Structure 1
Amino acid sequence: MNSGDRPSWQDGKRGSMVRCALWLLEEVGVGNVFTKTELREAFPETSQIDRRVRDLRDRGWKIATNREDPLLKPHEQRFVEMGAEVWKPGQSKALTQAASITANQRREVFDRDGYLCRVCGIAAGEVYDGGIETAQLDIARREVRHPGGGTTVQLVTECRRCRVGGRDASTDLADFLGRLRQMSSLERDLFAQWVAEDRREFSLLDRLWAEFRTLPLESRSAVEADLGAG
């Protein structure tokens, strides 16, 4: 939709959530940063305008805080992506399972995920390799496509760094199961063991290959020459 087809954010006949969405599009722009002060100054008559931003997230709008984007300051937010066109009839309904995550849900997800990021495996408070930043865990929503074509949104533990890098991540469970069924019985038994233990012990060969991939070109060439000499 072109900007000329949208109503103005200053139209007082619109609800505050709709006006907030239009303000983000007209005054902030996708990819840009805004502050809580700027938001409140734009809507001085609405005492809890911050809640309208949270309401937009429940309708597919991606608005990052410093929990998702470490480049942001605590008072800043970034307008990442537009969601539903909430000014249109029928578009303002919250998405399924997009309600706020409760404290009990957070504890349950953290507990079942072993208080580890399910992407990189880091625990809360651990220092990332090659730096001094410590990991902070949070709950992410992951869209899962099921066999048969249906989709659900499921909760998973991720650290802040992985959430930023995989903000639009989704899982195709049907594809995963299809590839799993192509394995030999020996491979399936080994995979089942890893699943049961929720861990995998990497061999020396695996570890060397992973480390080799991180080497600079000159070092990789030296390794290649040594292999050729052997």
Structure 2
Amino acid sequence: MMIDVMNLPDWKTSNAGTRIRAALWLASEIGEGGVFTKARLREAFPGVEQIDRRMRDLRKDDWVFSTYAQERSLAVDELRLVKIGGPVWEVGYRSTTTRTVSDRERRDTLARDNFACVFCGIGAGQTYSADPAHSGQLSVTWCGSAGPAGRYVTSCKLCRNPLDGADSSNDAFDAAARLDPAESQVLAQWIAAGYRTPQKLDKAWTLVRLLSKAQRDDLLHRLEPIT
């Protein structure tokens, strides 16, 4: 969105709410395509509680942000302002689209995304291999027009809100080098798409997780001759 920065209200002196002031700061200080950190945002609004949440609320008005989870060129504490959405600072501005996820949209999105986070692939209740103290908490969230597979996507709590100071995993190239050709091709597809596309094995595992223990034991027995 083209913004006339010179004619924007001053975010420092504006009497508007925190969400609007955050939008003004982003539009005037960062700009579309610009990169910033949560620390810089907090420094701009000292003493303001939940400034991160007020910024995320802008997604409901088509503001689009990307993080390390979606854009690996970013550091883990960085965000990119991909798109400036609705001009929430304008007098009389009203959001044109309702962002409440209906039950059907939630069900359809979860099914489409194989009941797993589209960014890291974790399923509900599964433990993170790099962080065993946490398990996957999935929700369907608004991702704007830049969403990888539609306006709503399934994401886990850690991918929605990356932890500040998390390990940047600088050995990504080494890990990729250890993949076989077929795995490398899949990884390349994920990188190009910007999110993790479910594989047939993921789909099978998702369905297995829905079985009772007796059913899983029966399936395991059937698979034993194959393995």
Q: TM-score, normalised by structure 2?
A: 0.49
Larger Rg: 1
Q: TM-score, normalised by structure 1?
A: 0.48
